[in-house]
Amino acid sequence: MINSIVDLVKQTSGPIIEIGPGSGALTHPISHLGRAITAVEVDAKLAAKLTKKTASASVEVVHDDFLNFPLPATPCVIVGNIPFHLTTAILRKLLHAPAWTDAVLLMQWEVARRRAGVGASTMMTAQWSPWFTFHLGSRVPRFAFRPQPNVDGGILVIRRVGDPKIPIEQRKAFQAMVHTVFTARGRGIGEILRRAGLFSSRSETQSWLRSRGIDPATLPPRLHTSDWIDLFQVTGSS
């Protein structure tokens, strides 16, 4: 597990911010990469112990709740073993932050699969897909954790898109469109789009579906990033 995360971090560049380092099981290996590390630990005792352990390394331990920690306005890499119950809150914080370039996160396996769009995408992933890519890494068996949870873990890799096809200034409009499509009623995307009113006529809806090669019975979670982007641009949802 540790080696898999370190190998992924090696593919990135820049200073590292670690979420919840605990006793430093991941902190020590990534400190050998020779990059500045800021380890944000909410537990005061663990933070104090880790500070002593890493005194000779390029590691700054900060006693703080990551959800309250101000992320830098300069490029950095986010790494961490995320508490399963805080996964959504931490992802929301990261996706709204402006500067980090890569995130290598260990979380619940099924959550990692859904966020990476394996099988089908979540609304959150679809809403952020023009600006970030989500990739599923390796599966981590539950017995690799201490204490052992009831489910396996999985690695999710998120990378910021360098030249997004939709300007970030149009994020709210794009995300509102995705929300409308995900929550509208219908037995397939064809019916959903008609009910959502994104096209002025049934023929326009059918024409767009044909141009994208999309079966009208397809459900919103099955659409690709390129489909969402094209839908936004074609319908003038901006």
Which tens digit of pLDDT belongs to each residue from 123-149?
A: 999 999 999 999 999 988 777 777 777
Mean pLDDT for the chain overall? 94
Strand arrangement of the beta sheet that strand 77-81 belongs to: 59-63, 37-41, 16-19, 77-81, 102-108, 153-160, 132-140
Locate the domains of the chain by residue range: 2-160, 168-235
Q: 37 vs 9, 185, 223, CA distance in Å?
A: 12, 47, 38
Q: What confidence category does residue 179 fall into, taking pLDDT thresholds of 50, 70 and 90?
A: very high
Q: Please give the single-letter amino acid code of residue 100.
A: W
pLDDT tens-digit series, residues 198-213: 998 999 999 999 999 9
Work out the pLDDT band at 238, boundaries 50, 70, 90: low
| Choice between 55 and 96, residue whose per-residue pLDDT is larger | 96
Q: Region 188-196: what's the mean pLDDT?
A: 95
3-state helix, strand, coil in the chain (%, to 5): 45, 20, 40
Is there a shared CATH topology between the 2-160 domain and the 168-235 domain?
no
Q: What are phi and psi of 166, to 5 degrees?
A: -120, 125
Domain 2-160 architecture: 3-Layer(aba) Sandwich (3.40)
User: Residue 68 class from Cβ within 10 Å (0-12 exposed, 13-18 middle, 19+ buried)?
Assistant: exposed
Can you tell me the mean pLDDT for 80-107?
95
Residue-level pLDDT at 224 = 95
31: three-class secondary structure by DSSP: helix
Q: Which CATH number fits domain 168-235: 1.20.120, 1.10.8, 1.20.1070, 2.40.160?
A: 1.10.8
